[in-house]
């Protein structure tokens, strides 16, 4: 029990689809550790970041293209819940992306996934 919040790992794991269990258990354990370290339950469960993740990725993309002359393009896609659709970040707005690479489902706030493609 942490700050009035109890995380019953066994009860939660019973509600997780067996196919998703391999990904879910490390996530559940991380939540439990964060609660145990005294982090606010709002920060843990709302998954708020202390920084603008898209802004940081844009800055990294600029650095990558500046240091890797053969790199033609860097796309930043914000993956929506479930990892099946997303939004490609453009200079002026967003563009819906219907087909994402398989690795996109592993993306989480603060922990992006990467996919490299030869063009």
pLDDT tens, N- to C-terminus, the chain (119 residues): 445 566 777 888 888 888 877 777 888 888 888 888 888 888 778 777 778 988 999 999 999 989 998 888 888 898 886 677 888 888 778 888 888 888 887 887 778 888 888 87
Residue for token pair 């992306």: 97
Q: How much is the pTM?
A: 0.63
Secondary structure E strands in 7-92:
77-79, 86-90
Q: pLDDT value at position 4?
A: 59
What distance in Å separates the CA atoms of residue 44 and residue 30, rounded to the nearest whole number?
9
Task: Please tell me what DSSP assigns to residue 50.
Answer: S
Per-state percent for the chain, helix, strand, coil, to nearest 5:
45, 15, 45
Contact assessment for residue 87 and residue 94, using Cβ atoms and an 8 Å cutoff: yes
Secondary structure E strands in 1-109:
77-79, 86-90, 93-97
């Amino acid at each position: 029990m942490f700050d009035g919040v109890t995380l019953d790992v066994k009860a939660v794991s019973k509600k997780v689809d067996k196919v998703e269990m391999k990904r879910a258990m490390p996530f559940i354990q991380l939540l439990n550790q964060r609660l145990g370290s005294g982090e606010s339950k709002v920060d843990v469960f709302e998954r708020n970041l202390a920084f603008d993740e898209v802004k940081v990725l844009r800055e990294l993309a600029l650095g990558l293209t500046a240091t890797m002359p053969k790199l033609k393009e860097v796309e930043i896609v914000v993956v929506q819940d479930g990892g099946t659709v997303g939004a490609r970040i453009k200079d002026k707005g967003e563009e819906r992306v219907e087909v994402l690479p398989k690795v996109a489902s592993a993306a989480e706030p603060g922990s992006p996934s990467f996919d490299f493609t030869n063009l």
